[in-house]
Amino acid sequence: MPDKPGALHRAAEIVKSYTGNIIRIQYDRRIDPATVFFEVTATPESYSRMKEDLHAIGYLQESLPTLGFLKFSVYLPHEPGSLFDLLTYITGTGANIAYIDFDDRRSDPGRVTISLNVNETAIVESLLDRLKSRYRLEILEYDTTGEKLDDTVFYVRFAQAVRGLIGTAEDEFLLSLLQDVNHIVQELNSLGQDPKEVFEWILCTGRTLRNTTGEGFYADVQRISLADDVEVFCFQMPGGGNIFLLRAPDETVMIDTGYGIYHEDAVRMFQHYGLGDPGKIRRIYITHADADHCGAGGFFEAKAYTHTGSLEIIRRANRAYGSRSESSILEEVYTTVINLFSHFTPPEDPEVFAPERTGMRSIFPVIARFTVHDLEFEVLESLGGHMHGQVYLFCPTHGIIFTADTLINFASLDEARKRYNSLADFLVTSVNVDSDCAKRERKALLELIRDMDEELTPAGRRCLVACGHGAVSVLEDGRLEAIGPVERYRAKEAEG
């Protein structure tokens, strides 16, 4: 909408004239002086007529042009009307002036510096040809990535940055995404967060994932013997949660899959460690529905198993489903954004654990059991502190528990992983959908691990804690400490 008095009122009047009900509106001049977000409920017929009227007065944004940024200086003759003539040339091409600077009292009189936002290369070439024929001209900057655009087209610039992260995308999809992202900004702004910082943290999430694939991919790796014939591999991914592989004589079993965007890199890493073809992975157990724990499941032919709540979260694309935070716009939109950036590809038809309880382990219901070679696992249902439908996988006979995101060895995370994890904390204010419940779960798991240690100590063994993030650890004086050697895998070095 034009940045002038009465513009907002005129748009609201059109909505009202067709009995539309405005349920959300957001405008912040500090972000973008020409963009307002409306959410309106109306009948389909009224909605169509509203759009027609808004389109007729030039208010409705229906596309996201790919804009370029051009900055140049021209030297004007010292005579009346010279600046007017220059502006006439620029206006005639349809370019939008974002910046202009001129002062005849400077040491280089006649120099005018101008920045333009332009949406077609042909416009740039035509304008420059006309200016070159008449003025002394210096091109200072020309950028087509959108990075140099000014804040008068902030949302267009943001959309171009998103395009750079996810590849080509239709305008309709990007406009819908901007609507969702704007809703996050509105919510966090009401909590005192700087809106520009929110946008930057969202882009930082996507950039981190993109930059840690291919040659930028790395992982921290542990391999630990659980039994004579079974070995567990822990792969700490550069962003998000761990992938675990249990290698047995007759099969390989995966626990959590990492982000979809890391799939190809992860497969090459598995092969580097002698884990063979992905087809040897026969089963996948998913602890919960966050993208960093199930987002690559659809790339494998293996049968996947998960909680019915996790399956529902995947289908609804809302990580807060089934919790008291279910209506949180932050949780819902964050799910959309992280699924997009991480190439979310969950298993298509996972088998869900039966809802019946077969026993209790501490405060957690036992809802299923399975074996890997001679290891017998109990599937423990969480109380939903981190996420509805999260489960823990506990093998009491061999002393290992996969705690998902209820227990994390933060001390073992490198600085890059800590920074990445902080992005989610910022954007949803807490990664736990019920923080009080999450505390109860942590306390109960730690007690369970201590009890397990007491049983295993006479045999010279310890309970291994396979955290959702960070190194496989043991409990020492109430703290998680990494066990055994941890080596760094780097894609560049492995290929070399």
CA atoms within 13 A on the CB side of 396: 14
pTM of this structure: 0.84
Q: Where are the domains of the chain?
A: 7-56, 68-143, 153-211, 214-495
Query: At 34, is the pLDDT very low, low, confident or very high (cuts 50, 70, 90)?
Result: confident
In this structure, the dihedral spanned by the alpha carbons of residues 187, 190, 196 and 200, taken in order and rounded to 10 degrees, is -40
Q: Give the mean pLDDT of the chain.
A: 91
pLDDT tens digits for 395-410? 999 999 999 999 999 9
Residue 188, C-beta contacts closer than 8 angstroms, at least 6 positions apart:
195, 198, 330, 427, 429
Q: Is the pLDDT of residue 149 over 60?
A: no
- Classify domain 214-495 by CATH number: 3.60.15.10
Collapsing DSSP to helix, strand or coil, 26 comes out as strand
Amino acid at 275: L
**Which residues in 60-135 belong to E strands, given as ranges?**
68-75, 96-102, 111-118
Q: Is the pLDDT of residue 483 over 70?
A: yes
Q: What is the mean pLDDT of residues 409-418?
A: 96
pLDDT tens digits for 157-174? 788 888 888 887 788 888
* pLDDT of the residue at 102: 87
Which one of 3.40.190.10, 2.40.50.140, 3.30.70.260, 3.40.605.10 gives the CATH number of domain 68-143? 3.30.70.260
pLDDT tens digits for 311-360? 999 999 999 999 999 999 999 999 999 999 999 999 999 999 987 888 99
pLDDT tens digits for 416-446? 999 999 999 999 989 999 999 999 999 999 9
